[in-house]
Structure 1
Amino acid sequence: MDIGVFLPNYGPMATPDFIVDVARQAEELGYRYAAVCDHLFMDAKNAKVMSNVGTVDARTPNGDRPNWYDALTTLAYVAGITKKIRLITNIYVLSLRHPLSVAREVTTIDVLSKGRVALGVGVGWYNDEFVAAGVAFDSRGEITDESIRVMKEVWTKERPSFNGEYTKFRNIEFYPKTVQKPHPPIYIGGYITDGRQHFGVSTGKRPPALVRAARLGDGWIPCGANVDEVRRGAVMLHDLTREAGGNPTEKKIISHNMVSIGKTLDEAKRVAKTSMVERFGSVEAGVERAIVGTPDDAIKRFEDYVEAGASAFIIGFFTPTPGEVLSNMKSFSKEILPSLS
């Protein structure tokens, strides 16, 4: 089982030095992924509530204005200070950028890192940045689909051509090609805005993220989903993949979960209480969607997610200080990781 951690590229603890500290320690401790989140911008409240490193009551390095460092630029920097940890976006708002630019940046990171980058993409949910970027919010799904096809075209063809609704080119030269063949993995995020809503799995609908993952992706990243939603989503992803003519066993499910570990369940709840209420609506909902409890509780929860269909995890720690993030990473690697390998 592969487990990765979020880098503090945004939110309460986002500083260059701490990004380096988390990345280096993650590699030293044997975590599989170093993950970054992405937006063009976000208001301070949402940035704190949705932070994947720290708690909503953590101190920020810039007062009430949390820093936000670009996702791909951060991964390029981290590639230069690490040797083996995989680098992944979770989640990258693809529809806000030109796909050729994204393909160029991802190619560069893949080559410079010797094939360590993966791209987790989603359609986005924060309407303000679409307005600012001049991108139609209601078109973000079809733009994302086309952009994925564009990137695959330039990554896999010697003289790529594309005639789409948003991007057109003919017989261009796009070099170098990526180290990973046929291209870096592309995972589709089934992101929900604040944990209080699910993504349609429980209603029997065909969630667009799962349709996209079945047709265009190498897997699915459920964000803040509970075990039952992952289970239902996995079944639906497999069915949709077969429908699209693909092999369901080749689809990887990477679950995105926040984590709070304590000596007791009550201690773990106490540390994460404010964040769980703000992010998920209640402590009870947080316990259902995050990994909260003792090390033994956490191991059981991870096993439940694996039984439901997850094969990898990207986690963030609900802790109020940078020092506690690093200490949690160490204790997690000693007390929990060995039981999940």
Structure 2
Amino acid sequence: MSALAYGIQLPVQAQSTLFAEAWEAGAGPEDLVAVARAAERAGFGYLACCDHVAVPRRLARAMSTVWYDPVATLAHLAAVTGRIRLLSHVAVVGLRHPLLTAKQYATLDHLSGGRLVLGVGAGHVREEFEALGVDFERRGALLDETVDALRAALGPQEFPEHHGKFYDFEGLGQRPRPAQPAVPLWVGGSSPAAVRRAALKGDGWLPQGDARERLPAQVARLRRLRDEAGAEGPFTVGAIAEPLYVGRPGWDTGPWTLTGAPEEIAGSLRAYPAMGVDQIQVRFRSRSRAELIEQIELFGAEVAPRLQ
């Protein structure tokens, strides 16, 4: 069994009450840089940043309105790191014309030396779509075509071409081109439509909130859909692990947090590749930037080598 890859959703850049720690409210760019550098030193495969343009008042108490722009954030962190990959988890690409999205992310890939992984999703906030003049009810169909358009617009051609129901373009040049010959495109979401979209249009799948017991059936469906369609090429199956704390915390980390010695945590996480998962996204409980970095370092040094 190959090693299980691992990445991290960045703190600070999104502050939903579902996952943000108290210390993040007073944090800023210097904290993001410190965490990104620590993750790279610890062997993490990617840094992830999510996407919301504007949060309506009815959702602001739960979601907060702190959502850093993923392109700006990942570009900033690309300049202070050298190896770690840069993942949008996820970009709501249906909110923007694919040529605009391609311009932004092709530039990011070019500037970072080919480190982009473009994660995309359908979105869920109706007011966000309405404010930008996009039909919320058709977001699934729009995303399907946007993925096709982005395949063309992020490919090697200086003058990409796409002819579809929502978008039609040709003869419009964009440089710089991405540094990668093909930017990996991972599809997020756990609904039947999202899983199908990932299987048939993506290079990987990013589940959203699937508990461990749901993953084997989801992965089996992915594989079946790809086999039936004759899909070829590499495909990365992801999962979001439970909140982690390496060691005995001595404080209340919540009922769902996986804690314990490195071997205990590694032993639990080794269940993921047995389900067909290739990479996990981890999040650590912490009370400060220093504690988070300590957790990242402990995971890289003591847990990761045991993820076989």
SS at match of 1:26: helix
Number of corresponding residues: 290
Question: Counterpart of 1:311?
Answer: 278
1:70 and 1:167 mapped to 2: Cα distance? Answer: 24
1:271 equivalent in alignment to 2:252: yes
| Residues 1:226 and 1:300: Cα distance change in structure 2 (over 3 Å) | farther
AA partner of residue 34 (structure 2): D
Q: What do you get for the CA RMSD once the two structures are aligned?
A: 2.0
> Could you tell me whether the CA contact under 8 Å between 2:121 and 2:187 is conserved in 1?
yes
Gaps of 5+ in 2: none
The CA distance in 1 between the partners of 2:53 and 2:158, in whole Å, is 32
Give % identity: 31
8 Å contact kept, 2:116–2:183: yes
SS of the counterpart of 2:205?
strand
User: Is 1:10 matched up with 2:49?
Assistant: no
Deviation, structure 1 residue 36: 0.7
1:37 aligns with 2:50: yes
Q: Deviations over 1:31-51 (max 9, x none)?
A: 111111111133443336xxx
Map 1:145-156 to 2 at 5 A: 145-156=144-155
Alignment deviations for residues 261-298 of structure 1 (CA, whole Å, 9 cap, x no partner): 2545xx58x6332xxxxxxxxx4xxx3xxx61213332
1:340 aligns with 307
Q: Which amino acid aligns with 1:187?
A: W
Letter in 1 for 2:14: Y
Counterpart contact for 2:204–2:235, Cα < 8 Å: yes
Counterpart-to-counterpart distance in 2, 1:272 and 1:92: 29
Q: Which amino acid aligns with 1:80?
A: A
Amino acid in structure 2 at the alignment position of 1:16: P
Aligned pair partner of 1:245 in 230, 233, 244: 230
- 2:40 corresponds to: 27
Deviations 1:54-73 (A, max 9, x none): xxxxxxxxxxxx63210111
Specify the alignment match of 1:47 in structure 2: 63
CA-CA distance at 1:327 after TM superposition? 1.7
Higher helix share: 1
Cα distance between partner residues in 1 of 2:48 and 2:135: 27
How do 1:163-182 and structure 2 match up within 5 A?
Answer: 163-181=163-181
The answer as to whether partners of 2:109 and 2:116 remain within 8 angstroms in 1 is yes
Instruction: Flag the 1:45–1:322 CA change in 2: closer, same or farther, 3 A.
Output: farther
Native 8 Å contact 1:22 1:326 kept in 2: yes
Amino acid in structure 1 at the alignment position of 2:5:
D
Q: Tell me which residue corresponds to 1:217.
A: 202
AA aligned to 1:7 is L
**SS in structure 2 at match of 1:261:** strand
Structure-to-structure mapping, 1:69-88, within 5 angstroms: 69-88=68-87
